[in-house]
A and B are shown apart, each in its own frame.
Chain A
Amino acid sequence: MSTTYYTKSHEWVRLDGDIATVGITAHAADELGELVFVEAKDEGTEIGQGEPAAVVESVKAASDIYAPIAGAIAGFNAKLSEEPNLIGQDPEGEGWIFKLKVGDSSQLEGLLDEAAYKASL
């Protein structure tokens, strides 16, 4: 299993070949509470590092999810359309949100590892 990296804005990212899988951390899922809607930008959309790539909505508020590294949207977790709360139940597994096709994986080096992320909370 590849290494999981974290952002200060509470996303996680895992690279497999040139495809990165992105979700939000358990801490972020807990803070957001029950989710009612999740949506990523259209497949193929080029997203810069730190730019909004998806949105999660609770009853009360919408929150942007940012791309931890630059890439093109290469997929959305369709299960979330029916069950947005998969994110709350299994944020770093079944509750992944979108995939990115990554050109330059060196941006991962600027992200946090698990220990550094947990220390930042």
Chain B
Amino acid sequence: MSEASTARVPLHDLHVELGAKIVPFAGYEMPLQYPAGLMTEHLHTRKAAGLFDVSHMGQLRITAKSGDLSDAALALETIIPVDLATLAPHRQRYGFLTNDRGGIMDDLMVANMGGWLFVVVNAACKASDTAHIAAMIGDRVHIERLDDRALLALQGPQAVDVLTPLCPAAASMRFMDAIETDVAGVPCTVTRSGYTGEDGYELGMKASDADTVARALLRDESVLPIGLGARDSLRLEAGLCLYGNDIDETTTPVEGNLVWAMQKARRAGGAREGGYPGAAQIMQQAASGVSRLRVGLAPEGRAPVRAGAKLFADADGQIPAGVVTSGAFGPSINAPVAMGYVDTKHSETGTALFAELRGKFVPVTVSALPFVKPGFKR
């Protein structure tokens, strides 16, 4: 990607002022880390609070052409295999767009904001997602890309204490609640969710208001700015997928171990079963099983096993067993962590496998996800 094609996020000047190391990511100049460093940023988020700029992500406002929001939810159900029809006002849910083969085109969050649906998608997919949604259900919904808005995530066990003085409604929200309210006097979308495995919030606001909100949050001494580097290690420890690495158009929700996100109403025998692209493949896989599954992997020793490393069932690397899709050192568990796809026969927790690392074969154990206990306020 050329330099010329990278865009700046609304808080670019603040990131520079805070000393961020800026890197191109998904077409944006994004803060990779701040002077505190990735390790400190990661650990601080787990024990206090971290502020992330995720304004590169796509924010969509979807409304029903009929004026009845339930029509928009039902229309989205024809392209997203989760229960959106019963998603109550001011509640949010994880989901994904599927293609005709049952592969995942993107993973996303959908919130019922009362009069509209608030959809947050991955930065790299936002143009293709918007085009896909318009092509599939454009006759039933209005889709507005909220490109003039910023998105901040405040994550960590002290997030509630930081946000409440600036936003009194924050304290009584539960995990996956979604409201519109003021933060530091600025109108915001506020969801009690995030992508770190910690309690926390995501705040959406006009781009021109982002600096006001960010500075108000950073004024609290328990808040550190956190870059994309720590965001990646935090989500990996939390067992959460990075789209493009751990799930993509060639992996189905069944292979990706994401069937939990498909509520009963949308599964075989449910009130609104199927009716989305790839439903036949996904329901067939859910019923009769798949040949590979996404699992957590705990490498032995201290050496991280990275994305792309091949997995074997034997210590000599003769029997292929799968591939690593994300791998890093997990600062909170002080050990390497990874996830990847393995042949289903090797997918049981506790299975001993071997990862190829610089010509050697390192023992790895199939592990339950997440690696850290979630801090969600359910």
Contacts and interface: CB of A to CB of B under 8 A. Distances in A.
Interface of A: 33-34, 36-37, 39, 55, 57-62, 81
A82 to B, nearest CB: 9
A39 B303 CA distance: 9
Interface in B1-56: 33, 37-40, 42
A60 B39 contact: no
A89 to B, nearest CB: 14
A85 to B, nearest CB: 9
Interface of B: 33, 37-40, 42, 229-230, 232-233, 302-304, 306, 328-329, 331, 336, 358
Given A60-B38, A60-B232, A33 B33 contact: yes
A4 B328 CA distance: 34
B229 A37 contact: no
Given A36-B329, A37-B329, A57 B37 contact: no
Given A34-B39, A59-B39, 17 more contacts: A33-B38, A33-B39, A36-B39, A36-B302, A36-B304, A37-B303, A37-B304, A39-B358, A55-B358, A57-B303, A57-B329, A59-B42, A59-B230, A59-B329, A60-B229, A60-B328, A62-B306
A76 to B, nearest CB: 14
Nearest to B334: A36
Contacts of B336: 37
Contacts of B39: 33-34, 36, 59
Contacts of A61: 306
22 contacts: A33-B33, A33-B39, A34-B38, A36-B39, A36-B302, A36-B329, A37-B302, A37-B329, A37-B336, A55-B358, A57-B329, A58-B329, A59-B38, A59-B42, A59-B229, A59-B230, A59-B304, A59-B329, A59-B331, A60-B229, A62-B304, A62-B306
Nearest to B232: A60
A27 B358 CA distance: 26
Contacts of B306: 61-62
Nearest to B303: A37
B306 to A, nearest CB: 6
Contacts of B331: 59
A12 to B, nearest CB: 23
Contacts of B232: 60
Contacts of B328: 59-60
B38 A57 contact: no
Contacts of B230: 59
Nearest to B304: A57
Nearest to B40: A34
Contacts of A81: 302
Nearest to B328: A59
Contacts of B233: 59-60
Nearest to A55: B358
7 A-B pairs with the lowest CB-CB distances in the bound complex, closest first: A36-B329, A34-B39, A59-B329, A37-B302, A37-B303, A59-B38, A60-B229
Contacts of B37: 33-34
A98 to B, nearest CB: 14
Nearest to A52: B358
A61 B336 CA distance: 12
B322 to A, nearest CB: 20
A24 B328 CA distance: 22
A59 to B, nearest CB: 5
A61 B233 CA distance: 11
B38 A58 contact: yes
A33 to B, nearest CB: 5
A62 B358 CA distance: 11
Q: Among B42, B229, B329, B336, which residue has the most Cβ atoms of chain A within 10 A?
A: B329
